Structure 1
Amino acid sequence: MTDKKPSVLFVCVHNAGRSQMAAGWLRHLAGDSVEVRSAGSAPADQINSVAVDAMAEVGIDITGQSPKILTPEDSEASSVVVTMGCGDVCPYFPGQRHEDWKLDDPAGQGIDAVRLIRDEIRDRVQALVKDLLPNR
């Protein structure tokens, strides 16, 4: 019997900064060992360019991603749902692990502030990977 691959959904309001950076970190740190999704309750038109720049500084390219609308199906298909300020619009399904990460919103912030947010997200994603993939 094989264990099902963990699936993580990162959700923030615009799916343009925090959730995109978190998804980028998880893809970078876990490779294909974890299925990664991100979405927003009110997606922006494009990813925050300062978030893109901050991630590029550490060698992670998130330019190929685009903000997506949060659907109940995405949430239901995920074993872990990490919310970042989306409030009551984030659906909850029994049997899922839910975490709410209190993080500053990078929208409208300069690169120095976004670097701090990026690094805090990295630390949280590293802990998540350790928990999801203990033998890694």
Structure 2
Amino acid sequence: MRLLVLCTHNSARSQMAEAWLRHHARLLGVDLEVHSAGTEKTFVKEEAKRAMAEVGLDLSGHTSKTLLEVPDPWNFGLVLTVCDQAKEACPVYPKKTLKRHVSFPDPSGKPLEEWRRVRDALGRMSLFLVQSLKEGRVPADEELERAAWG
């Protein structure tokens, strides 16, 4: 399955989710092609890199990109929005594309502890999503929300 994580700037939350999803898919042996993009292009924030490095995931090679910079941008099995603004701006996808949304707060401008809190919630949600995909199902928004925040 091809999966797109969409956020506003593709600078933090979507980048962290992309790394987590790839990590969990690799560990669980799930064939998952993961991309992330933003409704606007900026840069990957240093705090995101630092927070993910603490759990052994490297964002140093990641770059911020818009949807049109992602390979084959209209051919995804699942589009996951991780901020409310991206959900509202999400383009219309073909009917075959499933869309899911979980709102994660923007940790920008906050202490590293808030980055860790968002990172860990993204990690829990990503693990649950990959486990569900391995079982052959795509969980509902509410299930993903519970996995992230309890």
Question: When the two structures are superposed, what TM-score results if normalisation uses the length of structure 1?
Answer: 0.88
- Give matches, 1:44-123, under 5 Å: 44=42, 46-71=43-68, 73-74=72-73, 76-85=74-83, 86-93=86-93, 94-123=95-124
Aligned length: 128
Amino acid at match of 1:99: R
Alignment RMSD, CA only?
Answer: 1.6
Q: CA deviation at 1:110?
A: 1.7
Question: What residue is the counterpart of 2:148 in the other structure?
Answer: none
For the Cα contact (< 8 Å) 1:54–1:118, is it kept in 2?
yes
Partners in 2 of 1:130 and 1:59 — Cα distance? 20
Question: What residue is the counterpart of 1:21 in the other structure?
Answer: 16
- Give matches, 1:4-19, under 5 Å: 6-19=1-14
Question: What residue is the counterpart of 2:31 in the other structure?
Answer: 33
Q: CA deviation at 1:87?
A: 3.5
Partners in 1 of 2:17 and 2:130 — Cα distance? 12
Q: % of aligned pairs identical? A: 34
For the Cα contact (< 8 Å) 1:80–1:98, is it kept in 2?
yes
Amino acid at match of 2:22: R
Following TM superposition, the consecutive aligned residue runs of length 4 or more in structure 1 with deviations greater than 6 angstroms are none
- Gap regions ≥5 residues in structure 1: 1-5
Question: When the two structures are superposed, what TM-score results if normalisation uses the length of structure 2?
Answer: 0.80
